[in-house]
Structure 1
Amino acid sequence: MIHIVTDSAADLPAEILKEHNIHVVPLTVKINGVEYREGVDLSPLEFQQKMLSSRELPVTSQPSPYNFFNVFQELSKKGQVLCLTLSSKLSGTFQSACVAKNMLGEKVKVYDTLAGSLGQGIQVIKAAKWAAEGLSIDEIIEKLDAVRKEMSILILLDTLENIVKGGRLSRFQGSLAKVLDIKVILHAVEGAVEVLDKVRGKKRFLMRAVEVISERGKDFSEKIFGITHLDNEEDANFLKGVIKERFNPKEVIVCPMGSTMGTYAGKGGMIISFG
């Protein structure tokens, strides 16, 4: 039997974790000097409330190797373990999992999704389904390589406030963007994040994201889309409706964004993943 493990940055809803028997190792986030385990001590809604009332940007940290080791050790007694982590270009989570794996040997394998949020989560869901179908770990990893290569991730920043707090943008630049109603679309490139476009106005911003999706494929009938949001259910559901109508994908998952990804996306931010 193959047991699937991931970390909390995958932003998978509790019902999906339960349905596919997926085990989660939480990252941590520190807000106003208090440290919380993502998804354990702090729900997405609680994180939103605390982050929005904090003057400083929350600080996220990867799980320790010991946290992974405890999960791997228990599961490896009952079979093999495949752990899919947050992109190694964004966090040390993959390295922590690898340290833990090296303590236990060949019964555990660690896979770098080169993604976060539901870009990571979609790969986890597919791995769990393939494991349930009886595929070997090597066969699952071969299939994951193909999915990872085709995965597209768009990050829609409704506000640049958290980018300013994090020091990546000056306060003047952030204020100018706010006055001009400038929204930013980022995208994932080999696990890292780069600016894709800057758009003025909410409606043009959302429809530009839809245009980018259409530029990245023709047949989406077998694709799973994931949309996570930070306090922006209205726009997330609007995009869900447009995506279903225009692209007819296999499935569209919409859920709140956790603290790891939400710290960087900021209020109103969304991440659209498909693959």
Structure 2
Amino acid sequence: MIKITADSTCDLPPELLEQLNITLMPLHVLIDDKDYRDGVDISPKDIFRYVGEGKTCSTAAVNTFEYETFFAELSPKFEAIIHICLGSEFSSCYQNAKLAADSFDNIFIINSSNLSTGSGHMVYEAALLAKEGVKPVEICSHLNSIIPKVDASFVIDKMDYLRKGGRCSGVEAIGATLLKIKPSIEVIEGKLAVGKKYRGNFDRCLTNYVKDRLENNDKIDTRRLFITHSDCSAETVATIKEAVGRYIQFDEIIETTAGCTISSHCGPNTLGILYMRKN
């Protein structure tokens, strides 16, 4: 039997993790001087509360010793473990997991070159193939082949969290607020880039974002789409589901909540549609 594991940043919903027997390795969330484990003893709502209280929030990678301990428990129980990491440009998780895996002969480490459900697509694919009995080397080959096909992007309502994390200046954040600019953030070749900037009401910006991504786009793999968001209202998510349906009928639309890593950098009211391209 093959075991699929992943960093907690893949943002897959608990029911899917349980259904496909996927085990997560939590990253660290640092609030002032206190260390929490992503999704275990802290949630995005906790982060928003702490930040609202003026506390400093940051995230940290899983270290090599933690990965070694994690793999040592699983390695004897399975034919192989395939671990999908947060992209190497975003964290040292991949490098640390690779070092840890050197101590084992049945552990495969995949650099997703992505984050959130961009990585989640790969974790899901791996779990489905493992369930079908596909060999580990073939699963890894498939995962590496789809890395450039994953389309991951988000729209951010306010730039306060990006400013606090040092990812934009105070002047940029203030200017964006005054002009009601909602930037889209895209993963391109494993790195974050600013995409189109939308203006106006958040829901209208999101609707235009969905149109830009999906309208007249025949290169999309229609098997699956993730709507991943950070503390958006049910009404907003419903609006986006409806907007998606106007352009493409996906076999499966999965709503997921962004975990602590995305939430700590982007803040509440962040939403993205994440899918794969055919080529």
Q: TM-score range by the shorter chain?
A: over 0.9
Deviation at 1:200, TM superposition (A): 1.0
Range moving further from structure 2, 201-210 or 1-10: 201-210
Deviation at 1:211, TM superposition (A): 2.7
Percent of aligned pairs with the same residue? 29
- CA deviation vs aligned residue, 1:139-194 (integer Å, no higher than 9, x gap): 11222123222110112111010121122323232122111111101111111000
Q: Distance in 1 between matches of 2:99 and 2:209?
A: 38
In the alignment, which residue of structure 2 is the partner of 1:224? 224
In the alignment, which residue of structure 2 is the partner of 1:260? 261
Deviation at 1:259, TM superposition (A): 0.9
Give the secondary-structure state (helix, strand or coil) at the position aligned to 2:152. strand
- CA deviation vs aligned residue, 1:124-148 (integer Å, no higher than 9, x gap): 0110010010101111122212322
- State the AA in 2 paired with 1:122: H
Range moving further from structure 2, 200-209 or 114-123: 200-209
Q: Distance in 2 between matches of 1:236 and 1:266?
A: 16
Tell me whether 1:25 sits opposite 2:18 in the alignment. no
Q: Distance in 1 between matches of 2:32 and 2:245?
A: 40
In the alignment, which residue of structure 2 is the partner of 1:48? 48
Is the Cα–Cα contact under 8 Å of residues 28 and 36 in structure 2 kept in the other structure? yes
Is the Cα–Cα contact under 8 Å of residues 113 and 148 in structure 1 kept in the other structure? yes
Q: Structure 2: where are the runs of 5+ without partners?
A: none
Is the Cα–Cα contact under 8 Å of residues 215 and 247 in structure 2 kept in the other structure? no
Q: Distance in 2 between matches of 1:142 and 1:265?
A: 32
Distance 1:216 1:30, change over 3 A: farther
- State the AA in 2 paired with 1:160: M
In the alignment, which residue of structure 1 is the partner of 2:99? 99
Is the Cα–Cα contact under 8 Å of residues 48 and 230 in structure 1 kept in the other structure? no
How do residues 209-248 of structure 1 correspond to structure 2 at under 5 angstroms?
A: 209-214=209-214, 217-218=217-218, 220=220, 222-233=222-233, 234-248=235-249
- State the AA in 1 paired with 2:261: T
Is the Cα–Cα contact under 8 Å of residues 210 and 273 in structure 2 kept in the other structure? no
Give the secondary-structure state (helix, strand or coil) at the position aligned to 2:12. coil
Deviation at 1:221, TM superposition (A): 6.0
How do residues 105-116 of structure 1 correspond to structure 2 at under 5 angstroms?
A: 106-116=105-115
In the alignment, which residue of structure 2 is the partner of 1:249? 250
RMSD across aligned C-alpha pairs, in angstroms? 1.8
Give the secondary-structure state (helix, strand or coil) at the position aligned to 1:87. coil
Tell me whether 1:199 sits opposite 2:198 in the alignment. yes
Over 6 Å off, 4+ runs: none
- State the AA in 1 paired with 2:155: L
Give the secondary-structure state (helix, strand or coil) at the position aligned to 2:29. strand
Q: Distance in 2 between matches of 1:80 and 1:27?
A: 22
Give the secondary-structure state (helix, strand or coil) at the position aligned to 2:81. strand
Range moving further from structure 2, 17-26 or 260-269: 260-269
Report the TM-score, using the length of structure 2 for normalisation.
0.91
How do residues 3-18 of structure 1 correspond to structure 2 at under 5 angstroms?
A: 3-18=3-18
- State the AA in 2 paired with 1:59: S
Report the TM-score, using the length of structure 1 for normalisation.
0.93
How do residues 57-72 of structure 1 correspond to structure 2 at under 5 angstroms?
A: 57-72=56-71
- Count of equivalent residues: 273
